[in-house]
Amino acid sequence: MEILFDILQTENDYVYLILRLAAGIIIFPYGMQKLLGWFDDMGGGVGIKETFFKMRAKKIPGFITWMVIIGQSLGSIALILGCLGRVAALGNFVIFLGALFVHLPEGWTLNWLKNKKGEGIEYFVLLLAILLIIILKGTGTLSVDYWLISSKIILR
């Protein structure tokens, strides 16, 4: 129970609320695009079948593909709700760290001028920084985590 308390522990702070909502909203379309086929292709496939096809072409194992689909889809919802936010942030941190390394050859900046094949890493660095803050500090106020801790449902 001590570990669960440590995972859920967070402060009654609106800064962490804003950061987790931003991260969850940013990641949500990626997850829903891979899981349910919502939104246009953002480089990872549309729907589970195409996501697997595109990941397989990049030599990414099926197990990792499932982790990406689940991490981005359910993890984004968990971040928005603030439910096991540290776990969701950690999972997405690993996913987007991988994406950073994939995009590293394209340099720092995004492809604003449409003069290179892919996108740079500046977006991923920003998202990773947000996720790292959530991992370290928790989900903040108006979160399931804070409610469980403050209502003494989860005791140390």
Q: Please, which residues have CB within 8 angstroms of residue 127's CB and are 6 or more apart in sequence?
A: 23, 26, 27, 96
- Return the structure tokens found at 120: 């740079």
Q: How far apart are the first and last CA of the chain?
A: 7
Question: Please, which pLDDT band fits residue 61 given cuts at 50, 70 and 90?
Answer: very high
pLDDT band at 81 (very low <50, low <70, confident <90, very high): very high
Could you tell me the CA-to-CA distances from 21 to 53, 73, 85, 100 in Å, in that order?
Answer: 30, 14, 11, 21
The type of residue at 60 is: I
Amino acid in the structure at residue 113: L
Q: How confident is the model at residue 48 (pLDDT cuts 50, 70, 90)?
A: very high
Q: What is the pLDDT of residue 114?
A: 83
- 43 has pLDDT over 80: no
Taking 80 as the threshold, does the pLDDT of residue 154 lie above it? Answer: no
pLDDT tens per residue across span 3-15: 999 999 999 999 9
* pLDDT at position 113 over 90: no
Using alpha carbons only, give the angle 95, 100, 103 rounded to the nearest 5 degrees: 125
Q: What is the spatial distance between Cα 56 and Cα 74, in angstroms, rounded to a whole number? A: 22
Q: What is the pLDDT of residues 18-41, one digit of tens each?
A: 999 999 999 999 999 999 999 887
